[in-house]
Structure 1
Amino acid sequence: MPASRQIASDLGVSRNTVTGALSQLIAEGFLVARPGSGTFVAAGFERHQPEAVNWQQQPQLPGLSHYGTALAAKAMPEVHVQLPFTLGIPDLRAFPLSVWNRVQRQQQDRLHLLGYDGYQGYAPLREALADYLRVSRQVQCHADQIVITQGAQQAISLCAQVLLDPGDPVLVENPGYVGARRALQAHAAALTPVDVDHRGLQPAQLPAASAAKIMYITPTHHYPLGGIMSAPDRLELLDWAARTGTWLIEDDYDSEFHFHGHPIAALQGMAAQTPVLYLGSFSKTLFPALRLGYLVLPEPLVGSFLHAKRHMDGESPLLQQATVAQFVQEGHFQRHLRRMRVRYREKWEHLSALIASELDGLATPVAESAGMHLVLRIPGVNDDALVRDLTDAGFGGTALSSYYVGQDRPTGLALGFANTDERQRIAGVCRLRELILSHRKS
């Protein structure tokens, strides 16, 4: 190599810049410095000239897995835009941000929260959750049964990873939560849909004998139709699961928001030693960016789930866990939920009245007085196209048909009302009326 002074002169740069670059190339093995002789290109490069992979042709590399191939055939997911009526978005404007920031600042001064803690989750958070779930959701548990996860989606993935082998049969609600189906299919589960109506799952439809290892269910507020299983039906489902040897994954995604009376008690706590894995998250009760969820497990499963979580991603963010723990312990969480129940009930009543007056004869609500969204059946339209046009008009929503498996897919919309204000609800329903009429003419 030329001398560093010569290279600097030729390139018009500082000699220090050249010296630093040469030192880095020597450290990485591209150059060799020989005292008294100079700097030379390391031997062997003439024998190793890797060929560029031609990605336009079939590269001489292993192909994707069956799952990877299926994913490659799908369209890239769009960036999630939070429009009015987008599902799963709480009323972030009503979140007590000043209280949250005060609690978080207090936790930031604790040095041990900058390190590691444990795969199961921050103990004070698990203790606070156990106390809250026993009182509010009637879940029978203690802190050692709780595993903190990165949202509910990871909780479902952990269940599939620990409980299923490829090809194992799994029962899922139809219609049902698409995210759960994807998580189960990622572990090569064989999904069998079970039809659900506005009353929720009807246990009489279930086979007397079943080879299914798992059934995923939303019993206290069906997603997306909103049905609430009656107490006798929930007890019958528990009896069926114990009799057939089937694990029940109970996703209690937003049952805190029940508008008449107290929230419906969780399936998990309706009897002792139930075969239920109970999961929830703070995405809807606090805010989605928190990315914290939890699993309440039967005691014999806890060890296996902790090993699986360790292999999957290790620990959940400790500072966030500590902030949520204090937020719950000081009563802010429960107060926030009480305020939001009132607020969401007012939004639900207003949206229901708008639909009755503006969409009479065009759409039929599948309504239960709970949750953060409302479903409309809209026959005679392509609901995927309807959602695209609604998005172009500045409003969210999800096609009802997308929640179904099979050929018989009713059309309609699922509308999230939690993140809307009065003006947006009025404008959204009026625009929806225009779009329905336009789609039925075309």
Structure 2
Amino acid sequence: MPQARLDDLQLHRSIDAPALQSQLYQALSERIFQGRLVPGDRLPASRRLARDLNIGRNTVLAVYDQLAAEGFIEQQPRRGVFVHPQLPLLKRPETPRVTPAVSPPKPPAVTPPWLKGPDGPMTPPDWNERNAPFTPGLPDLNAFPLRTWNRLLHHQESRRSLMGYDGHQGFPPLRRAIADYLRSARGVRCEPEQVIVTQGAQQALSLIAALFLDRGDRVLMEDPGYRGSRYALHTAGVMLEPIPLKDEVLDLERLPDTTEAKLLYCTPTHQYPMGGILTASQRLRLLNWAVERDVWIIEDDYDSEFHFYQKPFAALQGLIDPAPVLYLGSFSKTLFPGLRLGYLVVPPHLVGAFTQLKRIQTGETSPLLQAVTAEFIEEGHFHRHLRRMRQLYQHKWEHLQWLCEQYLEGLYTPIAQSAGMHLVLERDVDDRAVAARMAEVGYRPLALSEYGLGESPRRGLVVGFASADESELQTGIQRLAQLG
């Protein structure tokens, strides 16, 4: 069998061997993942590759050992080193999907309109500003059972097995706990083998974009919608097509009869930010549309746990089997954002591709934090915490509704849905200017227009109420009323 050519393989010189080892591992694994090295290809002998790259042979041997342990390659005695013959062939992109760690990501050539503010490109607030009252998506951190969490953390941190490597797909006990929870609470059809633990929902979206999208592809997105999904899915050369809402949910009548889009992103259980919920019949229509047009649905189960007066609708993913759905969620709202843990549920035939991509992009997620989270769920603390938070947020939501009636009548129109952790206050106003003025007094609502993708965005404020106490809620609404 001919030897694979690696003439274009170049390493950025570094003074330390570990950096060279990391670069070589990244370069070879990328080539295998992208299909430039196919199953059965023979790799150069370690001595020859070390000589060609002008690096130590031990560095090459260490990389070969790592790739063999992970199943990328197979070392056959007296024959050589080969790309593993049973490695599945993955889709070959037109351009590399993973940027080498040694060079910074290349941004889009033109800043998309929805990333621009009135005075130029938007910049994210500092970390301490994102923890201010009225910040959307920030849970009540004071109500988190920290003592219980610390007890479990102390219990797990003494386990030496958690100090090493565990697996790129995720800690098995956590994947089992997530699968059990999703089956019982969300109606998701999944086994632990279909769960991939991610570093938040944002990474799950980035993995989807890297695996599914090439230059020139199109993605359909509900409008207005979650800003983070746009940041993750709008890779260079990818077009985002807005689908407007009707009655605060995705307008199914506006879905195209024919489309070249590969993906449709939506939040069917609790539309973000407007809060609407797709009915069962709408969900089936949406699934039928996707099946007939060969489009994958990205189901972001945003805020599904916090419905106050009725049981949450089952996830779209569980309505039919198999479903053309990539299901994602995170623990940022249910536990705390600093945990940086999320999950992605995919069909069995895609698990290998997603896991390999995660291995290449970011590697493993902290085994220790995964183990603590798994025990937190298994001991029942997660369910008890959700129940307490649902009651607490319902009380805050009702109080905020009352404050809006008292102080904002005639100024803003509340878009009130009995679910979630935020309230939309709609008004045809320069909402970014209002949000900036609120920030000056220590409150961080977001302008509704920033969630828009189309040319005529809706305006108002997205007010997070979960992290604020009653006094902060009242002071904030009074301040907003004073702005007129």
Tell me: CA distance 1:66–1:422, structure 2 relative to 1, closer, same or farther (3 Å): closer
Within-5 A mapping of 1:10-409: 65=106, 67=108, 70=111, 74=121, 76-80=123-127, 81=129, 82-379=131-428, 381-409=429-457
**3-state DSSP of counterpart to 1:279:** strand
Determine the C-alpha separation between the residues in 1 that align with 2:110 and 2:357: 25
Q: CA deviation at 1:287?
A: 0.2
**3-state DSSP of counterpart to 2:438:** helix
Percent identity over paired residues: 51
- What is the CA deviation profile of residues 155-209 of structure 1, one whole-angstrom value per residue up to 9, with x for unaligned ones? 0000010011111011011101111111111253211000013431122221222
Tell me: CA distance 1:68–1:425, structure 2 relative to 1, closer, same or farther (3 Å): same
Determine the C-alpha separation between the residues in 2 that align with 1:74 and 1:68: 13
**3-state DSSP of counterpart to 1:338:** helix
Tell me: CA distance 1:207–1:70, structure 2 relative to 1, closer, same or farther (3 Å): closer
Determine the C-alpha separation between the residues in 2 that align with 1:218 and 1:75: 24
Tell me: CA distance 1:64–1:235, structure 2 relative to 1, closer, same or farther (3 Å): closer
CA contact (8 A) 1:202 1:233 kept: no
C-alpha RMSD of the superposition: 1.9
Determine the C-alpha separation between the residues in 2 that align with 1:100 and 1:279: 24
- What is the CA deviation profile of residues 191-228 of structure 1, one whole-angstrom value per residue up to 9, with x for unaligned ones? 10000134311222212222110001000000100111
The one-letter code matched in structure 1 to 2:220 is L
Determine the C-alpha separation between the residues in 2 that align with 1:109 and 1:264: 40
- What is the CA deviation profile of residues 239-281 of structure 1, one whole-angstrom value per residue up to 9, with x for unaligned ones? 1101100000000121100001222211111111100000000
Gaps of 5+ in 1: 1-61, 438-442
Determine the C-alpha separation between the residues in 2 that align with 1:66 and 1:272: 38
Determine the C-alpha separation between the residues in 1 that align with 2:444 and 2:155: 37
Higher-Rg structure is 1
Determine the C-alpha separation between the residues in 2 that align with 1:264 and 1:399: 28
Determine the C-alpha separation between the residues in 1 that align with 2:237 and 2:287: 26
The one-letter code matched in structure 2 to 1:316 is T
Determine the C-alpha separation between the residues in 1 that align with 2:260 and 2:163: 46
- The equivalent residue for 1:430 is 478
Determine the C-alpha separation between the residues in 1 that align with 2:248 and 2:444: 26
Determine the C-alpha separation between the residues in 1 that align with 2:122 and 2:140: 30
Structure 1 length-normalised TM: 0.82
CA contact (8 A) 1:242 1:275 kept: yes
The one-letter code matched in structure 2 to 1:77 is P
Determine the C-alpha separation between the residues in 1 that align with 2:351 and 2:413: 44
CA contact (8 A) 1:279 1:296 kept: yes
Determine the C-alpha separation between the residues in 2 that align with 1:188 and 1:119: 29
Tell me: CA distance 1:234–1:75, structure 2 relative to 1, closer, same or farther (3 Å): closer
The one-letter code matched in structure 2 to 1:219 is P
CA contact (8 A) 1:197 1:227 kept: no
Tell me: CA distance 1:208–1:290, structure 2 relative to 1, closer, same or farther (3 Å): same
Determine the C-alpha separation between the residues in 1 that align with 2:184 and 2:322: 18
Structure 2 length-normalised TM: 0.75
The one-letter code matched in structure 2 to 1:248 is I
The one-letter code matched in structure 2 to 1:293 is G
- What is the CA deviation profile of residues 318-361 of structure 1, one whole-angstrom value per residue up to 9, with x for unaligned ones? 10000000000000000000000000000000101110121111
Determine the C-alpha separation between the residues in 1 that align with 2:463 and 2:110: 32
Determine the C-alpha separation between the residues in 2 that align with 1:269 and 1:180: 22
The one-letter code matched in structure 2 to 1:201 is L
- What is the CA deviation profile of residues 66-109 of structure 1, one whole-angstrom value per residue up to 9, with x for unaligned ones? 62674998354331311111111100010000000001110011
Gaps of 5+ in 2: 1-102
- The equivalent residue for 1:41 is none
